[in-house]
């Protein structure tokens, strides 16, 4: 296993120390409860936005804590759900009196633990906590780790947009509706050229032949739709975009498009992918209004890419363009 | 070869199309001359800043074109120097009457071609062109591709700082002195856990055993100082930081520190590395005033990291903090 780590037990902790040392102007880490907090949390009168999930997807979620995005992120061990105690500590730390919203990727452990935390926080401190589940992955209907679709790339876009809404002072009910709207209007699909190695496991999660790729992969190396022979960037883009367009009617609205790297794919290739995605959408009459190209929701060192398309309207674009200042995403601030 | 590309011949061209489509608000591409230009170039009265080199190091250099950084970047084929005609076209496109400064990484082909371009541009259009060479790599004295030290990570910091100086209206002579000062005060060293594959070659540049790493690697997979057994992040940090501190006296000044990923190393690990680098510097009494942690100067999909330390003073910090708005680096704007 070739990794820049010290010992397998401290991978997440060591990385949190580095995150806080590098971005101490934006975030602080509560090591006892294992929560990444916005430096100035809680913000009185603002809805607190909390997300989290297994580590190994950096910059998500800890890298998206800061002005205009999350108030707290709960990192689990690599590819392992965080626990309810972490989430409850996060809820209490970010509660500014206007309630808390959980953004939860649809994985069974995450959903169960975030639900339990919401109940505990409400019971213990009277915080009102709502949850919205992201389930944007069109690749599979159910998976090894989920009932229903998995929550993948759309989570990044939702955290940005709902974060901007919270920053603008929108109330909890309005933000729940906004998050559900984003979830209803966004879809994703991903693929992998290589597997990845969870540090504690010490060997690749799955085996892929030298001439093979996995299409419809999740973000934990769980199986996808199908294993295929290697193909060109153009063909791969079609394999990802066409199922998305087949699942939701994207005509008539501009889209926010993300071409995401899974961690081990160079930016050189991600721009090649973006070019292909753009051309396919153009053929379908779909216009990209905003884009993200880079590593935003990763699977450790996996080589591969995912595409996320979100139907946007004026309100979503305004929220997208609002200033954001986090370790992983920053503009206009 | 597992890559998201179409055909080997069009890797750079396809990627430039993607860059321009994704960041058309900041840059435009002159496809005939193969130059990435700042959208609003030339800026009258401003020194034009031009860099370039082989592709495969993204986001450098094309991703650093924009407000507060480069005016133009000349991408060669993967790991291959751009040609003088490209550079001359860039010089002429960014000339706003105040002259042009080339920032050149110390590789024999780059240095020769940028020199030739400077002479051609001066002869053909009367543009005054100066060049500054970056040679910050403490790993080797000479290498396969260089006489003298290689130019590596410091290039990113120089493009930011000198770019801010140019944006602030400093003249060509002042910027040449500034660039030389940065070069004198900055050092880097890198290592690789894996090789990378140049698309046109189709196979890894070198072989590394499952239990081996290459310390002192360059950014093209050229040999480093020594091949060693795998070690912990802490030990790797020492192998990179100690030679830098041994080469230049860093006491008494704050530093700008970059922990850079070579392309295939996840951010989770880069933050672990940053934590270790921070602790080592702390022990030596060296304070990090600013930092960058992420993929800024890469070697395709190589797994590995490099450390760059730049001694800073008030002027360098002011230029570092100045707004920058490019595809690969943005803050305060």
Alpha carbon of B193: minimum distance to chain A alpha carbons (Å): 6
Which stretches in chain A have pLDDT values below 50? none
Tens digits of residue pLDDT in A227-273: 999 999 999 999 999 999 999 999 999 999 999 999 999 999 999 99
**Would you state the pLDDT for residue A333?**
67
**Would you state the pLDDT for residue A70?**
98
Tens digits of residue pLDDT in B19-68: 999 999 999 999 999 999 999 999 999 999 999 999 999 999 999 999 99
Residue B71 exposed, middle or buried by CB count within 10 Å (0-12, 13-18, 19+): buried
Query: In 10 A of CB A85, how many CB atoms?
Result: 16
Beta bridge partners, A132, equal A103
Name all domains of chain A by residue range, CATH numbers in brackets. 10-185 (3.40.50.10440), 186-324 (3.30.1180.20)
Q: Which of A189, A298, A259 has the alpha carbon at shortest distance from B4? A: A259
**Would you state the pLDDT for residue B333?**
66
Partners of B3 on chain A (C-beta within 8 Å) are: 193, 269
The catalytic residue among A57, A61, A102, A284 is A57
**Would you state the pLDDT for residue B19?**
98
Closest Cβ–Cβ partner in B15, B18, B265 for A4:
B265
- Whether the bond into A87 is cis, omega within 30 of 0: no
Mutate which: B7, B12, B18, vs A, most A CBs within 10 A: B18
Q: Is the whole-model pTM more than 0.95?
A: yes
Closest Cβ–Cβ partner in B16, B58, B268 for A266:
B58
Asked if the Cβ–Cβ distance from B273 to A22 is below 8 Å, we say no
Report the alpha-carbon distance of residue B11 to residue B227 in Å, rounded: 31
Residue B104 has pLDDT above 80, yes or no: yes
Closest Cβ–Cβ partner in A5, A232, A274 for B272:
A5
Q: What is the mean pLDDT of chain B?
A: 96
- Whether the bond into B61 is cis, omega within 30 of 0: yes
C-alpha dist (Å) from residue B31 to A141, A277, B17, B52, B179: 43, 20, 9, 15, 29
- Whether the bond into A138 is cis, omega within 30 of 0: no
The three-class DSSP label of residue A76 is strand
Report the alpha-carbon distance of residue A83 to residue A87 in Å, rounded: 7
Report the alpha-carbon distance of residue B197 to residue B220 in Å, rounded: 10
Tens digits of residue pLDDT in B125-172: 899 999 999 999 999 887 667 778 999 999 999 999 999 999 999 999
What is the average per-residue pLDDT within B209-227? 89
């Amino acid at each position: 296993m070739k990794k820049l780590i010290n010992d397998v037990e401290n991978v997440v902790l060591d990385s949190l120390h580095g995150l806080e040392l590098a971005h101490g102007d934006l975030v602080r880490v509560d090591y006892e409860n294992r929560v990444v907090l916005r430096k100035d949390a809680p913000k009185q009168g603002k809805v607190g936005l909390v997300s989290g999930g297994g580590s190994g997807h950096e910059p998500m979620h800890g890298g998206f804590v800061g002005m205009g995005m999350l108030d707290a992120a709960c990192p689990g061990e690599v590819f392992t759900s965080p626990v309810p105690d972490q989430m409850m500590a996060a809820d209490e730390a970010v509660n500014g009196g206007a309630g808390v919203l959980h953004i939860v990727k649809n994985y069974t452990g995450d959903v169960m633990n975030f639900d339990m935390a919401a109940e505990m926080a409400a019971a213990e401190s009277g915080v009102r906590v709502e949850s919205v589940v992201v389930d944007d992955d069109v690749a599979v209907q159910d998976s090894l780790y989920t009932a229903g679709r998995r929550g993948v790339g759309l989570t990044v876009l939702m955290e940005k947009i709902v974060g901007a809404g919270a920053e603008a002072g929108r109330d909890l009910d309005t933000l729940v509706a906004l998050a559900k709207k984003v979830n209803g209007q966004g879809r994703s699909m991903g693929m992998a050229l290589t597997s990845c190695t969870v540090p504690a496991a010490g060997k690749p999660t799955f085996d892929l032949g030298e001439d093979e790729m996995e299409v419809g992969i999740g973000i934990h190396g769980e199986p996808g739709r199908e294993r295929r022979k290697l193909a060109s960037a153009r063909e791969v883009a079609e394999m990802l975009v066409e199922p998305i367009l087949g699942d939701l009617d994207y005509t008539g609205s501009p889209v926010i498009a993300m071409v995401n790297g899974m961690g081990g794919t160079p930016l050189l290739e991600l721009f090649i992918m973006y070019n292909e995605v753009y051309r396919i959408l153009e053929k379908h009459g779909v216009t990209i209004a905003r884009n993200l190209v880079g590593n935003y929701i990763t699977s450790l060192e996996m080589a591969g890419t995912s595409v996320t398309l979100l139907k946007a309207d004026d309100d979503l674009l305004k929220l997208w363009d609002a200033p954001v200042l986090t370790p992983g995403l920053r503009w206009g601030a």
